Structure 1
Amino acid sequence: MENKWWQSEIVYQIYPRSFQDSNGDGIGDVRGIISRLDYLAELGITMIWISPIFKSPMADNGYDISDYFDLAPEFGTMADFEELLAETKKRGIKILLDLVVNHSSDEHPWFQEALKNPQSKYRDYYIFKEANERPNNWRSIFGGSVWEKLPDEEVYYYHTFHKKQPDLNWENPELREEIYSMINQWLELGIAGFRVDAITFIKKDLSFKSIEPDGVDGLAKCTKTSRNQPGIEVFLKELQERCFKPYDSVTVAEAPGVGYDELDDFIGPDGFFSMIFDFKAADLDVASGTEWFKPVAWTPEDLFNRLKTSQLAIQESGWGAPFIENHDQNRAPSKYLKDNQTNPVALKALALLYFYLYGTPFIYQGQEIGMVNFERESLDDFDDISSIDQYHRGMAEGLTAEEALAVINYRSRDNSRTPMQWEDSPSVGFTTGQPWLAVTEQSSVRNVAAQMADPDSLWRFYQNLIAVKKETPVLTHGQIAFPERTEEDVFLYRRYDEDQAYLVIVNLSGQAQTVVYPRPGELVVTNQGVTITTNDIKLAPFGAALIKEEC
């Protein structure tokens, strides 16, 4: 595809509540981000994606927005944000914000006016149904019905997610105009673009008919009737034409439910978005992204096949956004490495495995130091509403209390939302007060200060991965291919153009492996576990390397 400016970015996701607190209230904020910009620049980051910082009652940690034009007080002020824009620009760092337009908070003035005055135009900004009982049996993403009854009317409103997150009615042109105006105001301010939240939910099956139940609660997943529905392309094309295209902005779609055969529409030459997150590899350990109380056994072969299928499909259509962690996932070392989650050689292998895939790489805060899952002793220790729902759904489906707690300890979104571990101290350098969420661990190894001082650390390995990518255009703009494999635990892929070829080889097992390789090659990046001989490559347990091949 034609080269675009955003293809060569290195993106770092910041979860603002947990990145850096500047005022001792235990909650991260914008001024805390400003104080860590030099850190990000030293790592090599060129763009930051900041999870929602807008005004919100925080029912879903900011993904329930009550004012799109103001910041939540705990994060700071618009003056703080404008200072952040100026300071990032000085360092050559761009900003992505989260665009949450499938729903708002129930405390948004639009919804409040809709409640006060049924004749108001704002009643049609949301999805209301007059009924004596729930209009259908659809289940929300966070459990329970998608319908919530108004207290003083025989009327229900629709929410794909939490009941405090009523869905916006995209069928209403006037509502869409309000959204476009808001988006363009932020682009005018100077941000580079958006990560677009839950965008495939904006179109519903307008029949609103009940469907076959799929759980003991008698409900059915709303993903079957309100995700990537026919007609969504009209809304997405309009959004692209009215907002994204005029500003040459970058957009990264969270677009669950999009099939590989639909990628041309979403990320093709004139696609709705710049790139797309594919969750198939991230969710290989659960029955579905909305049912992680049902864990699934998997093998390295399963992971490789999902990555390969995804990469080839994305390459054929447009551009990808490789990642192994984000604010909705558990920590990658605990997921993919299991008993080896703190093994520094294995951590480097995992980093190399994904970093040179086709697309713009994303790093989540704490990933660069190998942060791992926590272990909580009680349901009361969890903040995430989805984890609490999964616990109760697991119990309803037959899990014991102990089994349900183990499931959410492993898969909870809180695992990635604990405070960033800057140093080895009780509050890990995140705050001078009491952290809003308990830290994962106080570690002498898994903290920024220790790893920046260690030339052989995971942090330094990520820094080198980034530097090599910036210096080697083929690792950004080159094609990707997957050579035939003979060892199921050894991952192979090649990035290449007409002049150069680089091979990524990763042993994702605790056993030594040997791969036939009858061609010359030079080690460019390695975790010290790889040796190239005349006819083969010898891989120590978790050995991994980037090899420059002689064409």
Structure 2
Amino acid sequence: MEKEKWWKKAVVYQIYPRSFYDANGDGIGDLRGIIEKLDYIRDLGANVIWLCPVYKSPMDDNGYDIADYYHIDEAFGTDEDMDELIAEAKKRGIRIIMDLVVNHCSDEHKWFQKAKADPEGPYGKYFYIKKGIDGKAPNNWRSIFGGSAWEPIEGTDYYYLHIFTKKQPDLNWENKELREEIYKMVNWWLDKGIGGFRLDAITYLKKEAGLPSYPADGEDGLVSVAHGALNQPGIEALLREFRDRTYGRRETLTVGETAGLTPETLLSFISLEDGVFSMVFEFSWCQLELKGPNYFWYDRQEWTPEDLKRELFSSHEMAGDRGWFGVCTENHDQPRSIDHYLPREGRNYYGATMLASMYLLLRGTPYVYQGQEIGMRNCAYASMDDYNDVSTHNQYNRALADGFSPEEALRLVQLESRDNARTPFQWDDTENAGFTTGKPWLKVNPNYTGLNAAQEERDEDSVLTWYKKMIGLRLHSQWSELISEGTFAPAYREEKNLIAYRRRFEGKALLVLCNMQPEERELKLSAAYRQVIADNYKEAAFAGNTVCLRPYEVLIAEEA
């Protein structure tokens, strides 16, 4: 019997635990804080929580460097707290999916400690460990966070590979013993009752045989690690074994962070019939302002809503009716969407609600990142001392090394830092935004006195109210089956700065119109409409079959 694809009728709420809610006053969000706020998530309408890493970790990359996959880090609570969270969420009809980081682990994991002690021994084969060449690294790959992707093992001629920070050694998935350890751990968590996993950096698992050097693409003499470590031939076979030995045996949600997918390989990852995962995140339009393949924050380019529309439509047309996406406009690695996608004149209620509807009604499973539902904004700290994120400091130093002034480099950081999304959740207008009674681990955005959840819960015309309305439309309305099962087709594609699409199912059709510009526009509809389902200006401005769309208006209508 075919397994139930329950995740097609899900809305996922992503929690970055360190910044969500601090229940014990130490300045760090924790599992007990999440338990206390489960009713808020239920009332929003989400029925799945994606929990960023809470495993034991030295926190070099805020938990994405795991030292023990089986235990909770004491900063977040106890193993018993995790069990209680799973149980309490279940009582409210909410499933928990965990972040799974298996491209790499922490250099403090017992496997790596044993590998360093004996690089040629069995645990040395769990990692990519090679002797240097003439006292230099084995190849010229550049880590994603900057600098060589190789770090010497002190007191030896050996180096180990790290695609990310030097405290995140890459695991060697060619090693069968390593794979068996991973499968055992994954099944252990599934047995505890979690609903699935978000798989971090999963398309980096397979490395090119021989780990060759490539021509340098920067003045540092290094080359993007993507050439030899991103979406390499053979990765699908590894991932299919992974699936078949673990989550593929159960009714789980799995979503891949899958940089580097090509049109030719996309469906093998997201096919509703035999995909490696339930879905992958659709990221093609998340860094339009940066040039690949390195995406240095200073290597910028202009973009328009037409570029966003092109990428969005292209991906969804490639997926068609056979594939499934995880759709989002924010996460813990991106700036806040209001600042990221909207010009200054659109950073308001209308722009925020238009963006929300644009992605919440797409074909796929939508993800809401904590604070997005109240319209949280970027936070431009005045000093690099205020930034915590390791990637931010690496990008800042990279900009300085390439000739930018400290002021210029700081401005780039203010625009792009991952800490923009990691400032503490703004619960109310009390001290520290109600996040903690202690000193917050990261400074609270000072705009919290006028932008917080408590205030928006009292306001019928708030961004939070609109999110609840859109999630309700998706999950609990006469349109729910159409939105979860219906087809997707672009509409009015030739209209500049308009993102429009149709969702169709069993003879019914919804039209979604998003005016992504600060000017009004008139649009003559090609088909009659039966009724307006929702409009962020409350009432649509129709004159016959022509509608006037106001700045950043979203109109959702049933077509005849």
With structure 1 as the length reference, what TM-score do the two structures score? 0.98
Aligned equivalents of 2:65, 2:77: Cα separation in 1:
17
Q: Give the direction of change, closer, same or farther, for the CA distance of 1:272–1:486 in structure 2 (3 Å limit).
A: closer
Q: Structure 2 counterpart of 1:50, which letter?
A: L
Relative distance call for 1:475 and 1:316 in structure 2 (3 A) is closer
The answer to whether the Cα contact below 8 Å between 1:315 and 1:358 also exists between their aligned partners in 2 is no
Q: Tell me the C-alpha RMSD between the 2 structures.
A: 1.4
What residue in structure 2 maps to residue 243 of structure 1?
Answer: 246
What residue number does 2:549 align with? Answer: 539
Aligned-pair distance for 1:542? 1.2
Secondary structure of the structure 1 residue equivalent to 2:373: helix
The match for 1:355 is 360
| Cα distance in 2, alignment partners of residues 367 and 427 from structure 1 | 18
Give deviations 1:213-253, integer Å, cap 9, x for gaps.
01111100001110111111221110011011112211000
**C-alpha displacement at 1:2, in angstroms?**
9.8
Q: Deviations over 1:255-283 (max 9, x none)?
A: 10011221121111211100011211111
Match of 1:180 among 179, 183, 196: 183
Asked whether 1:520 is paired with 2:529, we answer: yes
1:274 to 256, 273, 278: 278
Q: Pick from 256, 260, 264: which aligns with 2:263?
A: 260
Match of 1:18 in 2: 19
Match in the other structure for 1:110: 111
**Alpha-carbon shift at residue 119 of structure 1 (Å):** 4.8
CA drift of 1:140 comes to: 0.4
Partner SS state of residue 321, structure 1: strand
AA of the residue aligned to 2:18:
R
Within a 5 Å distance, the mapping from 1:86-485 to structure 2 comes to 86-131=87-132, 132-268=135-271, 269-288=273-292, 290-340=295-345, 342-470=347-475, 471=477, 472=479, 473-485=481-493
The CA distance in 2 between the partners of 1:458 and 1:236, in whole Å, is 39
Report the CA distance between 1:99 and its aligned residue: 0.7
Shift of 1:316: 4.6
Matched residue SS, 1:293:
coil
- Match of 1:361, SS state, is strand
What is the total number of aligned residue pairs between the two structures? 550
Q: Which residue of 2 aligns with 1:548?
A: 558
Question: What is the alpha-carbon distance in structure 2 between the residues aligned to residue 436 and residue 301 of structure 1?
Answer: 39
Residue 496 of structure 1: how far off its partner (Å): 0.5
- Name structure 2 gaps, 5 residues minimum: none
- Deviation for aligned residue 1:341: 5.4
Q: Which residue of 1 aligns with 2:513?
A: 505
Distance 2:492 2:514 in 1: 14
Q: CA deviation at 1:443?
A: 2.8
Instruction: Report the AA paired with residue 540 of structure 1.
Output: R
User: In the alignment, residue 534 of structure 1 is paired with which amino acid?
Assistant: G
Amino acid in structure 1 at the alignment position of 2:176: P
Amino acid at match of 2:493: R
Output the CA distance in 1 between the equivalents of 2:131 and 2:449: 59
Question: What is the DSSP-based 3-state SS (H/G/I as helix, E as strand, rest coil) of the residue aligned with 1:285?
Answer: coil
Residues 425 and 442 of structure 1 are in contact (CA less than 8 Å); yes or no, is this contact kept in structure 2?
A: no
**Counterpart Cα distance in 1 of 2:253 and 2:119:** 38
Q: Give a deviation string over 1:90-119, Cα, whole Å, max 9, x none.
A: 000001100100000000011111122345
Closer/same/farther in 2, CA of residues 155 and 210 from structure 1, 3 Å limit:
same
Letter of the structure 1 residue corresponding to residue 542 of structure 2 = I
Q: Output the CA distance in 2 between the equivalents of 1:59 and 1:409.
A: 21
1:77 paired with 2:78, answer: yes
1:487 Cα deviation after fit = 2.7
CA change 1:2–1:492 in 2 (3 A) is farther
Separation in 1, partners of 2:320, 2:3: 12
Partner Cα distance (1:465, 1:12) in 2: 14
Q: Give the letter for the 1:115 counterpart.
A: K
Kindly state the Cα deviation for residue 210 of structure 1 after the two structures are TM-superposed.
Answer: 1.1
2:5–2:251 Cα contact (<8 Å) kept: no
Per-residue deviation at 1:384?
A: 0.7
Cα distance in 1 between the residues matched to 2:185 and 2:153: 28
Cα distance in 1 for partners of 2:145, 2:178 equals: 25
Alignment partners' CA distance in 2, 1:254 and 1:486: 31
Unaligned 5+ runs, structure 1: none
Closer/same/farther in 2, CA of residues 119 and 7 from structure 1, 3 Å limit? same
Residue deviations 1:59-84, cap 9 Å, x none? 00000000000001010111001000
Greater shift in the superposed pair: 38-47 or 540-549: 540-549
Q: 1:395 to 1:418 in 2, by over 3 A?
A: same
Query: C-alpha separation between the residues in 1 aligned to 2:241 and 2:306?
Result: 40
What SS class does the counterpart of residue 208 from structure 1 fall into? coil
| Counterparts of 1:483 and 1:256, CA distance in 2 | 28
Structure-1 residue corresponding to 2:501: 493
Read off the aligned partner of 2:501 and give its amino acid letter: Y
Match of 1:394, SS state, is helix
Q: Is the 8 A contact 1:520 1:534 kept in 2?
A: no
Deviation at 1:475, TM superposition (A): 1.0
Q: Counterpart of 2:396 in 1: which secondary structure?
A: helix
Tell which deviates more after alignment, 116-125 or 413-422: 116-125
